[in-house]
């Protein structure tokens, strides 16, 4: 059974930092691209960042470029999202997702497995 478990969310003041983690089990992690998406209340789920299966390529939404960094540790079956200079508009539930042999797509449809999400709240 495939499981993706996010952690690291919480409440932070604007300008602060958080690091999200997503640990996978039940799949060959090194063969999967990993992505982070987020969904704010009343809004559609949107792409945040992704990393290709081999780790050579990363992709990030314009709204987070220069502030968020995605990385992976295949030995730990974990993908990270380092979030710096957080803004109130970053408030959302953050989800990680896995796509087999993916290149880091920004499109949710390609991801076959999803976590349950972790809440990030940025106060002004």
pLDDT of residue 90: 98
Q: What's the rounded mean pLDDT across residues 81-105? A: 96
Please answer whether residues 49 and 59 qualify as being in contact, where contact means their C-beta atoms are separated by less than 8 angstroms: yes
Residue 28 has which token pair? Answer: 């060959």
Measured over the CA atoms of residue 104, residue 107, residue 110 and residue 116, the dihedral's sign is: positive
CA distance 66 to 72: 18
Count of residues making up the chain: 124
Q: For 22-68, write each residue's pLDDT tens digit.
A: 999 999 999 999 999 999 999 999 999 999 999 999 999 999 999 99
């Amino acid at each position: 059974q495939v499981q993706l478990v996010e952690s690291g969310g919480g409440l932070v003041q604007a300008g602060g930092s958080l690091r999200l983690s997503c640990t996978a089990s039940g799949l060959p992690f090194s063969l999967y691209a990993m992505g982070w998406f987020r969904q704010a209340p009343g809004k559609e789920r949107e792409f945040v960042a992704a990393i290709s299966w081999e780790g050579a390529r990363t992709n990030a939404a314009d709204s987070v470029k220069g502030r968020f960094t995605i990385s992976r540790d295949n030995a730990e079956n974990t993908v990270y999202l380092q979030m710096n200079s957080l803004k109130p508009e970053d408030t959302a539930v953050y989800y990680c997702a896995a796509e087999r042999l993916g290149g880091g797509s920004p499109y949710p449809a390609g991801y076959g497995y999803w976590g349950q999400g972790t809440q990030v709240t940025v106060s002004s």
